[in-house]
């Protein structure tokens, strides 16, 4: 693999500048493209997490609908290039599953490619503001400026939508749990559901804006979908998933709530609570990648939700 790319690079050099001036040596994609149905693709964040999250797209009769835009313009542009490689049909829409910058950061690249940005109505009020809180003390002046210049969605909704790509039906649904402005994208003829961050596969989810109560109810709805056993679920983070992964993720959230609740009942709080819960959570989900830092955040947010002190983003007026 490495040998082959070295050879390709050497060939480019050997061809000389005149022939190859416009063709840079091809960088590896920041995501792995996986076909998961007829004309339906998942773009799964690579091992270096350069894309920041997963995305995907649906090719219909007369155009393409993209789901999410990654964290940065480079990854989104690479996605646009892959779509153009697969089909001459225009990119007509990008649907943001929620406002978080790891899913909206590349929107401008999709808009430049011709897409209308569709999102939950609350995304318009949050994408340039609440994303700054999301990074806490890791925010830099550059990132802040990038967030404040993110494109606002063109088409917003707080109801379910059907987007027709010619005769191909794509169902955009409002769901509860991750941020207060969440959409899923269902392609019924392919049995594919893009869940956004309502599903993470073997990775602790970001609970900063979430409600575990609502979230577990939404995941129960996924499991209850007709033919869910044969469906493909594209999570916001982690590899392409099936119903077992949805059940596993929901079990993780229920385990977290139960363990934090038990710890609270025995009088534990803050660091002591995290130290009591973390090993039990890891033991129940040994095939998950759970860092101590991630577990501490999960416990803190779960504790706040159970205490009734959790702060969630507040919908702004249009």
The contact set with Zn ion (CB under 5 A) reads 53, 102, 197, 236
CB nearer Zn ion, residue 119 or residue 268: 119
Least Cβ distance, residue 48 to Zn ion (angstroms):
16
DSSP-derived letter for residue 1 is -
Nearer to Zn ion, 204 or 263 (CB): 204
Residue with tokens 């982690």: 238
Q: How far is the CB of 100 from Zn ion (least distance, A)?
A: 5
Q: CA of 19: how far to CAs of 4, 16, 239, in Å?
A: 21, 6, 39
Q: At closest approach, how far in Å is the CB of 236 from Zn ion? A: 4
Q: With beta carbons less than 8 A apart as the criterion, state whether 268 and 279 touch.
A: no
If the CB atoms of residues 178 and 310 are measured against Zn ion, the closer one turns out to be 178
| Choice between 59 and 96, CB closer to Zn ion | 96
Q: Find the radius of gyration of the CA atoms of the chain.
A: 21
- What is the smallest separation between the CB atom of 199 and Zn ion, expressed in angstroms? 11
- The CB-of-135 to Zn ion minimum distance in angstroms stands at 13
Q: Read off the DSSP letter of residue 308.
A: T
Which CB atom, from 53 or from 72, has the smaller least distance to Zn ion?
A: 53
Instruction: State which residue, 105 or 263, has the beta carbon closest to Zn ion.
Output: 105
Q: How far is the CB of 68 from Zn ion (least distance, A)?
A: 8
How many Cβ atoms are within 10 Å of 8's Cβ, its own excluded?
Answer: 11
E-assigned strand segments in the chain: 31-37, 40-45, 55-59, 64-67, 91-95, 116-120, 155-157, 161-165, 168-175, 182-187, 192-200, 232-237
The Cα-based distances of 61 to 31, 80, 167, 172, 193 in angstroms read 25, 18, 7, 18, 19
Residue 65 near residue 100, CB atoms below 8 Å: no
Write down the least CB distance from residue 177 to Zn ion, Å: 13
Q: Which is nearer to Zn ion, 191 or 238 (CB)?
A: 238
DSSP secondary structure letters along 66-105: EE---SSHHHHHHHHHHHHHH--S-EEEEE-SSS-HHHHT
């Amino acid at each position: 693999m490495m040998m082959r790319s070295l050879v390709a690079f050497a060939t480019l050099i050997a061809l000389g500048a005149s022939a190859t001036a416009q063709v840079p040596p091809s960088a590896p994609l920041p995501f792995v493209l996986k076909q998961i149905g007829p004309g339906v693709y998942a773009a799964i964040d690579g091992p270096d997490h350069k894309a920041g999250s997963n995305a995907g797209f649906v090719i219909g009769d007369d155009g393409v609908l993209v789901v999410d835009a990654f964290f940065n313009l480079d990854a989104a542009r690479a996605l646009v290039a892959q779509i153009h490689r697969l089909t001459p049909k225009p990119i007509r829409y990008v649907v943001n599953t929620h406002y978080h910058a790891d899913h909206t950061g590349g929107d401008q690249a999709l808009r430049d490619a011709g897409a209308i940005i569709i999102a939950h109505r609350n995304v318009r009020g949050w994408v340039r503001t609440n994303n700054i809180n999301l990074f806490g003390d890791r925010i830099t002046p550059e990132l802040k400026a990038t967030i404040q210049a993110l494109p606002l969605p063109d088409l917003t909704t707080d109801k379910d939508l059907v987007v027709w790509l010619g005769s191909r039906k794509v169902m955009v649904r409002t769901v509860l749990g991750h941020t207060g402005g969440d959409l899923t994208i269902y392609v019924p003829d392919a049995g594919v559901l893009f869940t956004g961050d309502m599903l993470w596969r073997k990775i602790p989810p970001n609970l900063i804006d979430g409600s575990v109560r609502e979230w577990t109810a939404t995941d129960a709805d996924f499991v209850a979908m007709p033919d869910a056993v044969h469906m493909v679920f594209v999570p916001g983070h982690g590899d392409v998933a099936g119903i077992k992964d949805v059940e596993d993720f929901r079990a993780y959230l229920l385990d977290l709530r139960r363990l934090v609740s038990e710890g609270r009942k025995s009088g534990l709080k803050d660091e002591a609570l995290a130290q009591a819960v973390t090993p039990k959570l890891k033991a129940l989900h040994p095939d998950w990648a759970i860092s101590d830092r991630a577990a501490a955040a999960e416990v803190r947010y779960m504790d706040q939700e159970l205490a009734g002190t959790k702060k969630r983003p507040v919908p702004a007026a249009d």
